[in-house]
Chain A
Amino acid sequence: MHELSIMEAVRDQALEQAGRHGGGRICAITLRIGSLAGVDPDALALAFEVVMAGTAASSARLLIEPVAAECFCAACQEPFPAQDGVCACPRCGAISRQLLRGRELQLASLELADPEPC
């Protein structure tokens, strides 16, 4: 359970960015979370309210943009979804060593508003 400390990183980065872009309140925070990032979106949502309390993001909405893991098959020259992190190509069965996406753990975007509550 490290979702709390990850949410603290979200808070720190979001407040810093909001400050750098004219301050005001944060209305929405969008995170991009890969299916192989080792983070549970439900646990993140639980931590969100606690961590944002008393800050400029206290009334913000949390939006999570999931990223499904995807590999590239060198034999088929095509990408394929790595369901449950399994890197075996569903077309030819070859094991791919090329993970295209799925490990993302990013602060994707913020929605900022003037100081009155959103």
Chain B
Amino acid sequence: MCTTCHCGQIEPPGAAVIEAPAPSPRRLELGAALLSRNDARAAALRRRFAAAGLPVLNVLSSPGSGKTALLERLGREWSGPGRLGAIVGDLATDNDARRLIAAGIEAVQITTGQACHLEAAMLEPALERFDLAALGLLLIENVGNLVCPAAYDLGESLRLVLLAVTEGEDKPLKYPAMFQSADLVVINKLDLAAAVGFDRHQAHHHIARVAPAARIVAVSARTGEGMAELRHAIAAGLQARVLA
């Protein structure tokens, strides 16, 4: 049997094997992850964080859900161990980093220009500005966007997706890809729930359907309601990650 092009011809014994031209076009099966470059850099960051014993929280939401206010509240109530650090991604301005610094957080702003999400490579220069061993927790405030950041691993320990009561109970059903990736879903602006007629039970029901693995906590970053439970949920999530 011809072994060169599998044409079925019997090869005469001793015949010179002539290299047949490759059939054209030829198919190349790959199955390669498109974001493999980001995944590799995120894996390197994860090793670096682990070596420093530093837990990292990737915080995601739509613009205006209260990510910065939540981080400010975590900063004001932070009692260690270690310092609280934050890397903040926005298309423009360093307003958020300044707010976090005022709340006692060591914050570094990344302005992404037109990029709609943070990538692992963008964190590398920002990390140079921290003494990682002195931090007790690093928060990453991603660009406000419920679509694009979902696909980009940043080497985080936990992914926290935030939803404000003003966005409606069914927001998670509209952005399943983002909520599916959450370890923790935080319902924020609880102080406005009555004013907007927010149905908490229904929101929990919707979140459970698209984010079945996520723990759900409701808070008001403004009044502080629910913050103790959130701190417990973060600690429990980190603990579970370490054990896994």
Chain A interface residues (CB < 8 Å from chain B): 1-2, 5-6, 9-10, 13, 17-18, 21-22, 27-28, 31-32, 36-39, 84-88, 95-97, 99, 102-103, 105-114, 118
Contacts and interface: CB of A to CB of B under 8 A. Distances in A.
Contacts of B210: 85-87
Interface size class, chain B: 20 to 34
A32 B28 CA distance: 14
B201 interface: no
Interface in B19-73: 21-22, 24-37
Nearest to A22: B22
Given A2-B116, A2-B148, A96-B212, A109 B29 contact: yes
Given A31-B34, A107-B34, A37 B25 contact: no
B177 A38 contact: yes
B84 interface: no
B28 A110 contact: yes
B117 interface: yes
B209 to A, nearest CB: 5
B134 interface: no
A45 to B, nearest CB: 15
Interface of B: 21-22, 24-37, 115-117, 147-148, 150-151, 173, 176-180, 208-210, 212-213
B181 to A, nearest CB: 8
Given A13-B36, A110-B28, 9 more contacts: A17-B28, A31-B34, A85-B210, A97-B212, A106-B30, A109-B28, A113-B25, A114-B22, A118-B25
B175 to A, nearest CB: 9
B116 A86 contact: no
